[in-house]
């Protein structure tokens, strides 16, 4: 294993971690600190904190707003399957980080779903990519960055699948590497059996993680700050009770 492999395994992960964490925190801190001069909810349904929370959660969990228009429902399906698959895959990968020996029960439980998600996720990804090329209006509004992030995720998925099914590294060694990184112990690459398929996958994942704070992928944090959804009017702002007047 060469210098490059050593960099990807022993150095880059720390850079990635710092860029990702600092970047994400910075972006969220900016949104957090910006003032809202006036409440601008889009009605209906936000007459209390509770209803605002419900609305945001409905948008986060079931993509409620996207469902509203019949013409958007294929997009809804593609987007929802993609995001849920992505989440399941992330959860499955916790098996390489958690637990001294055996993985925690709930991570083990999600393994099957995570594998299924990895096999499925390419379909919504390709759909999301192709629709940008096929529909003239979407093609018009798409920037190179929109294609880039989809291709990047696709390459992560495919390299992961390749490493899992065609050039499988020794799984125990993968976990050993991750645990070592978490303990700030450099790994001697001569003592572990890692292949180039794994290294490529690991590298691409890190590129994606570093890209996130600078990109539109930050929508995952932004949605929790969206004034039209989080703002609400309590009963005190304006009353319908004439008795008080």
Partner 1 sequence: MGEQLEKIYDVELKPGAGEGYVCNLTKPEFAELMKTNIPKEPLPDEQMVEVALKRLDELRKERKSIQLYLDICVRCGACIKQCHYFIGTGDPKNTPVGRAELLRKVYRAHFTISGKLFGKLVGAEKLTPEILKNEWYKYFYQCSECRRCSVFCPYGIDQAEITMAGREVLNSVGLATKYITQVISQVYKHGNNLGIPEPAFKYNCQFLEEEIKETTGVDVKIPVDKEKAEILYLPPSADLFTNTDTMIGVAKVFHAVGADWTMSTYASEAANFGLFFSYDDMKAINLRVVETAKKLGAKLVIFGECGHAWRAARQFMEAMNGPLPFKFMNILEYTAEQIRKGKLKLDKSRNDDVVVTLHDPCNYARAGDLIEETRFVIQSVCNNFVEMDESVTKVKTFCCGGGGGLLTEEIMELRMKGGLPRATAVKEVVEAHGVNYLAAPCAIDKAQLPLVMKHYDIPVQVGGIHDLVSKALILEGQEEFEAKKKAEEEAAKAAAAAVPAVCGLCDAEFATMDECCEHAEKDHKISKEQCDMVCEAKEGAAAEAAPAVCGLCDAEFATMDECCEHAEKDHKISKEQCDMVCEPKK
- Binding stretches for partner 1 (CB under 8 A): 27, 30-31, 34-44, 47, 59, 63, 65-66, 68-72, 75, 79, 135-138, 140-146, 148, 214-216, 218-219, 222-223, 225-229, 233, 237-240, 242, 244-245
**DSSP structure string for 118-157:** HHHTHHHHHHHHHHHHHSHHHHHH--HHHHHHHHHHHHHH
| Closer by beta carbon to partner 1, 112 or else 222 | 222
Pick from 172, 202, 208, 159: nearest CA to 9:
202
Please give the structure tokens belonging to residue 95. Answer: 């098996």
* 128-166 residues labelled b (16+ CB within 10 A) or e (exposed): bbeebeeeeeeeeebeeebeebbebbbbbbebbbebbee
Q: How far is the CB of 143 from partner 1 (least distance, A)?
A: 3
- Distance, in Å, from the CA atom of 77 to the CA atom of 203, rounded to the nearest integer, reads 30
Q: How far is the CB of 38 from partner 1 (least distance, A)?
A: 4
| Closer by beta carbon to partner 1, 31 or else 165 | 31
Q: CB count, 10 Å around CB of 199? A: 19
| Closer by beta carbon to partner 1, 4 or else 30 | 30
Q: How far is the CB of 8 from partner 1 (least distance, A)?
A: 23
Instruction: Check if the beta carbon of residue 239 is closer than 8 Å to that of residue 53.
Output: no
Q: How far is the CB of 115 from partner 1 (least distance, A)?
A: 27
Q: How far is the CB of 96 from partner 1 (least distance, A)?
A: 29
Q: How far is the CB of 202 from partner 1 (least distance, A)?
A: 24
| Closer by beta carbon to partner 1, 7 or else 216 | 216
| Closer by beta carbon to partner 1, 13 or else 23 | 23
| Closer by beta carbon to partner 1, 109 or else 133 | 133
Instruction: Check if the beta carbon of residue 175 is closer than 8 Å to that of residue 96.
Output: yes
């Amino acid at each position: 294993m060469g210098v490059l492999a050593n960099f990807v395994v022993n150095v880059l992960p720390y850079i990635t971690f710092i860029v990702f964490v600092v970047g994400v925190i910075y972006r969220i801190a900016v949104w957090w600190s910006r003032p809202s001069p006036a409440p601008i909810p889009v009605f209906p349904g936000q007459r209390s904190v509770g209803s605002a929370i419900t609305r945001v959660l409905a948008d986060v969990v079931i993509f409620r707003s996207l469902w509203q228009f019949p013409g958007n429902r294929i997009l809804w399906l593609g987007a929802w399957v993609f995001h849920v698959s992505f989440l399941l895959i992330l959860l499955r990968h916790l098996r390489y980080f958690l637990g001294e020996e055996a993985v925690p029960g709930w991570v083990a439980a999600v393994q099957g779903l995570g594998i299924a998600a990895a096999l499925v996720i390419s379909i919504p990804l390709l759909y999301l990519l192709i629709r940008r090329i096929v529909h003239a209006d979407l093609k018009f509004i798409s920037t190179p960055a929109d294609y880039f992030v989809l291709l990047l995720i696709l390459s992560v998925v495919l390299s992961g699948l390749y490493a899992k099914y065609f050039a499988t590294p020794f799984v125990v060694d993968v976990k050993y590497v991750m645990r070592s990184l978490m303990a700030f112990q450099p790994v001697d690459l001569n003592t572990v059996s890692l292949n180039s398929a794994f290294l490529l996958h690991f590298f691409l994942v890190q590129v994606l993680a570093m890209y996130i704070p600078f990109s539109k992928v930050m929508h995952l944090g932004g949605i929790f700050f969206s004034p039209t959804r989080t703002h609400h009017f309590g009963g005190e702002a304006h009353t319908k009770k004439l008795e008080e007047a």
